[in-house]
Amino acid sequence: MTHPDHIQFLSPSTLAPTPGYSQIVTVTGGRLIFLAGQVAFDASRNLVGKGDFRAQAQQVFANIKTALAAVGADFNHVVKLNMYVVDRTQLPVLREVRDSYVNTETPPASTLVEVRSLAQEDFLLEVEVVASLPA
C-alpha cells in the first residue's frame, strides 16, 4: 500500500520508538475528512459481537472502510486514529485488527484511551478517524 504524495508519515529518532503508529503526520494541501466515532453497528443498526471485543473491532474497522469509500478514500488516506476502549487489556487484539487495515510500514498517528463506558453499555470500543484526500 502506498500513501498519496501529499501525506508524509514521520517517526523521528529523537522521539521514543512507537509500536504500530507514526509520531507525526504532515498533510500538504488536500481535503480533510473527519469520520464520527465508529462503533460495532451493522448497516441496520444491530450491534455486532455483544461481549466479543474481536468481533466488535472487526465491525468497527469494516465500518471505517465503508465510510472512507463513501468519499473516495481508503486506509492509505488515514492520517489519525483516536481509539477509545473500555478494557485496554484488549490492545493486542485491537492492534491485530487495526494492522489488517492500515499500512503498517507507515501507520497513521494514533491515540488510545481507556474509558469507563461509551455511548451504549454494550459498546467495547469506538474509533474516530481523520483522513486526507488530494486536492
In a domain, 119, yes or no: yes
The total number of structural domains in the chain stands at 1
In a domain, 103, yes or no: yes
Give dist(CA 97, CA 58) in Å, integer. Answer: 6
Q: Share the mean pLDDT of the chain.
A: 95
Q: What range does the domain containing 96 cover?
A: 7-133
Q: Which pTM was predicted?
A: 0.92
List the Cα angle 110/113/114 in 5-degree steps: 150
Q: What CATH number does the domain containing 59 carry?
A: 3.30.1330.40
Q: Which of 105, 75, 76, 94 is nearest to 4 (CA)?
A: 76
Give dist(CA 115, CA 135) in Å, integer. Answer: 36
Cell (9 digits) for 6: 501529499
In a domain, 1, yes or no: no
In a domain, 59, yes or no: yes
In a domain, 38, yes or no: yes
Per residue in 49-106, pLDDT (tens digit) is 999 999 999 999 999 999 999 999 999 999 999 999 999 999 999 999 999 999 999 9
Is the model's pLDDT at 4 over the cut of 90? Answer: no
In a domain, 2, yes or no: no
Strand partners, 25: 9
On the CB side of 33, CA atoms within 13 Å amount to 22
